[in-house]
Structure 1
Amino acid sequence: MTLAFPNPSRSFDEVRSAVRFTGHDGMFQIRFLVEAAALTKPNAASCGADVLEATCLSAFDTLRTSIYDVARKAYSRRRRDSYTLTAADFR
């Protein structure tokens, strides 16, 4: 099977400062985190938590196709049940 993203839901994890989303490979759920640093400008981390959350979720929505492509690439290299995508993954 191939990794698909049938559920467009995403959420902000304040503790990890990242956006969570899931993919599916057949019946298996694969969890992903995209670090805030991969979605925002360097000075955005100094904003309040509410601003950072809104900024990250908006950036995720704008970059969703690219994020899914990076997630598929990471998954194809080594199949695991969870991944953390960093700014380095998007270069």
Structure 2
Amino acid sequence: MALNFPNPSRSYDAARHCVCFWGYDNAREVAFQVTDEILLRLSHQGAAEESALLATFDHHRDQILQLARDLYNPGERTTYTIS
């Protein structure tokens, strides 16, 4: 089974400066982080506030999930950073 993202949850991690979200490969949970830098490039607005970064993530969700699928390598690890 391929990596999928049935849970739309995401959260902002201020300590790591990223938005975190999770995917699943069968029953295996895989954590992803997309950095503020990537989100700021996508937004073209330069607003680094939590609400703006989460809104940018939501607006570009499909593109970000495709990046996560491209980055994912089954069985290699359980955490990936899109940076």
TM range (shorter): 0.7 to 0.9
Identify the residue that residue 36 of structure 2 maps to in structure 1.
36
Identify the residue that residue 56 of structure 1 maps to in structure 2.
53
Identify the residue that residue 13 of structure 2 maps to in structure 1.
13
Kept in 2, the 8 Å contact 1:22–1:31? The answer is: yes
Q: Secondary structure at the match of 1:57?
A: helix
Q: Distance in 1 between matches of 2:74 and 2:3?
A: 12
Q: CA RMSD in A?
A: 2.1
Unaligned runs of 5+ in 2: none
Kept in 2, the 8 Å contact 1:40–1:55? The answer is: no
The offset of 1:38, in angstroms, is 0.2
Kept in 2, the 8 Å contact 1:3–1:24? The answer is: yes
| Large movers: runs of 4+ above 6 Å | none
Aligned residue pairs total 81
Unaligned runs of 5+ in 1: 87-91
Q: Distance in 1 between matches of 2:11 and 2:27?
A: 22
Give the TM-score taking structure 1 as reference length: 0.80
Most deviating of 74-83 and 12-21: 74-83
